[in-house]
Structure 1
Amino acid sequence: MATKVTIKNLEGTRDFYPDKMRWRNWLFNLCREVSERYGYEEFDGPFLESFELFAAKSGEELVNEQTYTFETKGGDKVAIRPEMTPTLARMVAAKQNELRKPIRWYTIPNIWRHERAQRGRKREFYQYNVDILGVDSIDADAEIMAVVIDIMRAVGLDKQDIKVRVSNRYYLEELLNSLGVDLSLKEQVYRWIDRIEKIKPEAFRANLLEVGLNEQQVEGLEARLRSRDFSGFKPLEEFWEKAKQYGYAELLEFDPSIVRGLLYYTGTVFEVWDATKRFTRAIMGGGRYDNLVNAVGGQPLAGVGIAFSDVVMEEMLTQVGKMPELPRQLDVYVAQYSAAERPESIKVATILREAGLKTELNLLNHDLGKQLKAASACGARFAVILAPEELARGEVNVKNLLTREQFSVPLGKLIATIKA
């Protein structure tokens, strides 16, 4: 006798049952529709990359704490992708001279991060990324934000639900310089600014002092991080002006504490947040990375992009009551009076499918009542019923499962009747 073994899902991973597949497809089909409306093309890359691609470009926490790594049989150290931007940069660098500029690409890869599974965060998730490369001006930053704002609106989120917190790495660099902070310390300072909302104020100050700032510099930095005035800083002024032209400036909020944790960001950085503060982490984030393509072997090429995961979006839509109901949709369920009609049922189902109608064929020897219940349960709009008497006249019965109306139709007019 075989031993029974119960196999459980791995912590932090997800099983996509059909209802979840409908939700994920709905979300990412909207992303595709909006992206392509702006002229972006879909791309994909490998699941595995060289560990060095992420080690030098993505930041200590993501690489050392959250990336799944292993050695191949040949001794190469590889990583399961924890993000997609380094892969994008590597791919662009490989064919940089062949690609038309600007490069407008989007992708929806499966991503893995080794972190504690919690609300809005899983070890395995799908992530929408949209990027534009080859544009030095703020026009690229503004267009990327326009794309994701349109996606937010498409899923039902607007100004009462979301806000976009914006800053700029060069603004922060000027801020540190004005306080007399040694700029060789900036990456360490950025790391703690990025965590300012996750730790207590006294811990924030203590960590900055440990990095090498003095008391006066820490106090000055805290005061400036609370400021909402970016007057005189041209890149942010230009970004706000472009946002007005696109019609989403009312969603923006200047927040100098937004730095993003990844090392490769250079200019504008932005995060989308829940305006009601019920969800306490960013819904999406991104920014400008003008040095990344060059860093992975290509020629200097400006870039800017943003990304969000299906896990965070599902949590956000659920909490604001805008998670869509997505029942299964089927055009036709083919039922038969008895097993004797099965051969004709197969022929009818085949004809319906060839006409582009989503059709399910009854394969179980249930009575007609159970078949019609199954037709309603599976979301079919019509049931086509084959019975001996109607078949002898070259007809089938059609039942509208919404109105409950039933009528006979000649086989030659079945497709036209259902499509009408």
Structure 2
Amino acid sequence: MSRVEFVQMDHSWRSRYESLTSWTWPSSYAVDELAGLPLPFEWEHSVALADRQDGDRLAAEAAFHPFPDFAVPGGRLPANGLTSVAVQPTYRRQGLLRRMISRYLDMSIARGDALSVLLAQEYGIYGRFGYGHASDVVTLRIPHGTRLAAPRSITDRTDLGVDVDYVSPDRDAPFIHRVQRAQSRPGTPVRELPGFQHRALTSPPAPAQPLRILRVTCHDEPAAYALFNRSQDAGTSVAAVSDWNALGTAAEYTLWQTLLNQDLIDTVEARRVPADSVLTSLLPDPRATSPSLHDDLWARILDVPACLTARRYSADLDLALRINDPLIKANDGVWTLRVVNGTAEVSPATPGVSPDVSLSVAQLSAAYLGRPVLAQATRLGPSDDLVEHTPGSANLLHTALSWPELPGTTWGF
């Protein structure tokens, strides 16, 4: 008979943590090699359950990365990114995930984080915990030599510098950090902890190709980067880019055009590309890139007033919202949202006020970063996630929450 209880992991749990992690997400590293790499999070930012009847066998684990200046439309707020969620197969279907998520939400609220984000391995897991599908990205396979259709005002820039090299964590971590910190696209996190940065810049073991970096500067200041490696796929040389960022149109054009001009590369596989990125708008033939769309960030509002006042809005608004949140009672109720000149005031509604819209915290979270989903949900008719009481109110909320730049993150965590 198992007795699964919460434990606080520390360095003595490292091997057990890496063993469960590599079981869930197979790695080219051996467990003892993983244990020798920098830990990408702090132990205090972890949640774990162990079986006390089986030698403290690690039954389930999760961790989170603090994102103290997470980008939201027109602003920033304290958030964190849930990661490394794993349950031993022996202990599945015993409610361990729900127990961990409940503990994690309590920890996040106690820290003062207003928003939780994650990247889901399976689509249907996290909606029951109040997470909403908040952004999308595309993967593109771009043939070598493709000429991006940029105007001369971009192609003739002479203030941009480019350098390509093998990754050096000590040299490249500060460069990447400065680019990430300056990015304002909603949904953009920043790798703050040194261990997190170093782990992301660690090359896979041989025989895999070492990690490479392309750096773009503007007036000698960091402007863009791309981490990539090269592989042979059925005789084809592919440069896979899974971690990148760029500040401005010219820097993003320069980044991708330089990669597309690299010798001995047949295809550039651009991953985690927001649908409205500079790259997608400059492709001469998007069909030739075999684009594939997939969900990106899932968001979960932890503090309704903190989230709704941290961002800017695209239209004035005066609505009463009935937010249904069975897991965080402080969010559950009717809230008044008033927006004037893009700035919001949020307060609990006066008792007896009838809501204009009722929506689940998952539905509100899906729209919070600017993903245009509320109008479509309204057209589908009343549901557990959205009911419009005042005609037209859901479309007004949709318009106010929209943003000129779609949300998305260009690197994973």
Give the number of the structure with larger relative contact order, counting CA–CA contacts within 8 Å between residues 6 or more apart. Answer: 2
Q: Which has the larger radius of gyration?
A: 1
TM-score norm. by structure 2 comes to 0.26
Considering fraction of residues, name the structure with more helix.
Answer: 1
TM-score norm. by structure 1 comes to 0.26
